[in-house]
Structure 1
Amino acid sequence: MSRLQTTLRDLKDLNVYRATLAEFLGVMFLVIIGCASPYGERTIDHTRISLSFGMSVATIVWVINNVSGGHINPAVTLAMLVTRKITMVRCILYIGAQMAGAIIGILILKGLICNWQLAYYTREQLNITECGLALNTLGKEVSPGQGFGVEVLITFMLVMTVFATCDQSRTDLHGSGPLAIGLAVTIGHLGFIEITGASMNPARSFGPAVVLGDYTNQWVYWVGPFVGAILAGVVYEFLFAGNAGTTKVVEFFTEVDYNPENEPFDEYPKTPRVASDIPT
């Protein structure tokens, strides 16, 4: 099946829309759980936030990876498009669903916690009059350029992990792919949450920004993750993948119906593997 035929098929395939719904729900629950984690204490517990985001990602990817691939991140989706693992139709639907899921998730979170949060601040005599909703902001004395660099680096690490867990040409991977992805998110938060908030995910940053109407330095949380994700996808596919090599590079740029897995393209790209997928 040609690439064009696959793209046209995606428009008529109900499974694509089922996958789109999975991405919407996945991001919605990610932002509800992750963005709720900073609240309820006088001081912010960065370890709790890191684990909340990381374990949420691992759990959600585990649940929906057989439906949509478990992207739950526009940066991951764009990297999959650039490396020709998904069609443009699927990319547009996924990113639209992810953005909508983030906004709806933050609106739900606002309704659930804002009144309680403000009452808590008043009771504890804290000089805070707004419901922050875990808006990503740059740390003190951190320039937008530095924030951009951090987001590129930590998103690069995350997307390299995603591509490694999806690499069907490797037989050395054991254990849980979704857990590895969640740990990459956790590590990114532990290292850099005080610098940029460790977004790694434009949807996660976009939801709070829209609901609060605060787009300060928002470009950092879009351009940084997108650049990091694209670089990671290209580096992994052409240098580190189990079937990497010059032949793959040549085919990528010359074959109209290029397939990175050397399998019929009408089979949806493989999802993060679990232990039962590994040959013994």
Structure 2
Amino acid sequence: MPGPNEYFNVPLRRVAIGNTDEFRHPGAIKAAVAEFISTLMFVFAGSGSGIAYNKLTGNGPASPGGLIAASIAHAFGLFVAVSVGANISGGHVNPAVTFGLFVGGNITLFRGILYIIAQLLGSVAACFLLSFTTGGLAVPAFALSDGVSVLPAFVFEIVMTFGLVYTVYATAVDPKKGEVGIIAPIAIGFIVGANILAGGAFTGASMNPAVAFGPAVVSFTWANHWIYWAGPLVGGGLAGVIYEVFFISHTHEPLQEF
């Protein structure tokens, strides 16, 4: 009779810490620059769509059309951002993705820290560029909608980010992905766009601490900002652990990036 491990893998692959030399390694620095550029591109397109919507409507109330526009802009922007970074850094473009890959043993801690710093700087740079190029128009910061309390918003961000990082694992990380890997950037962009349609009217549907961080810095708006860190990191971490435990064979060497 098959043992339990023939149905799923209980132990996670060894989580790798790495060392500080990675901060100076040319390959790691090149990857961090790629993460900076990819995140800048994504945030510039995503947040820029919000600024354009506010300009066209005279800062009018939110509407279904605005939600759809935000969904499309983020889906297209992320598709491109992941695609252009995939062969250099893996195209994480999101601290929650990086964290989810770390807990699954697919990136070292120090390389992950380097990625996250680059992602945050890319987001801040994108938002300052948006403020400058639009003549000082406000960069919309993430905030809870009226009537949405903290706990449901926190869970919403967990669930949405879980779906995102689970998609990353299934289409980009899993060594059995086969030809599905070709559509990984599309799938990742689509799940973000779909989640914005689902959660945009409640939390803004960040799913990405870097995406929330840049606008918060530029607009200096920090109300409930912790939700946009804690929710995505918890969701991303859970997705990484669950996919590694149940679905990935542990007969291969740990990946360093996808």
TM-score by length of structure 2 reads: 0.85
Amino acid at match of 2:37: L
Distance in 2 (alpha carbons) for counterparts of 1:159 and 1:113? 33
Residue from 223, 244, 252 that aligns with 1:262: 252
Contact 2:43 2:211 in 1 (8 A): yes
Distance in 2 (alpha carbons) for counterparts of 1:210 and 1:10? 28
Any residues of structure 2 matched to 1:79-228 within 5 Å, and which?
Answer: 79-115=100-136, 117=137, 131=138, 133-165=139-171, 166-171=173-178, 173=180, 175-228=182-235
Distance in 1 (alpha carbons) for counterparts of 2:110 and 2:183? 29
- Equivalence for 2:4: none
Distance in 1 (alpha carbons) for counterparts of 2:194 and 2:211? 17
Distance in 2 (alpha carbons) for counterparts of 1:78 and 1:50? 24
Which has the larger displacement, 187-196 or 9-18? 9-18
Over the aligned positions, Cα root-mean-square deviation in angstroms equals 2.1
Amino acid at match of 2:147: E
Whose radius of gyration is greater, 1 or 2?
Answer: 1
Contact 1:36 1:134 in 2 (8 A): no
Aligned positions, number: 235
Query: What CA deviation, in whole Å up to 9, does each residue of 1:161-185 have, x standing for no partner?
Result: 0011121123373651100000010
TM-score by length of structure 1 reads: 0.78
Residue from 16, 20, 42 that aligns with 2:28: 16
Partner SS, residue 66 of structure 1: coil
Residue from 63, 70, 82 that aligns with 2:91: 70
Contact 1:27 1:98 in 2 (8 A): yes
Residue from 29, 39, 51 that aligns with 2:72: 51
Distance in 2 (alpha carbons) for counterparts of 1:98 and 1:91? 10
Shift of 1:6: 5.8
User: Which runs of 5 or more structure 2 residues have no equivalent in the other structure?
Assistant: 1-13
Distance in 2 (alpha carbons) for counterparts of 1:191 and 1:91? 29
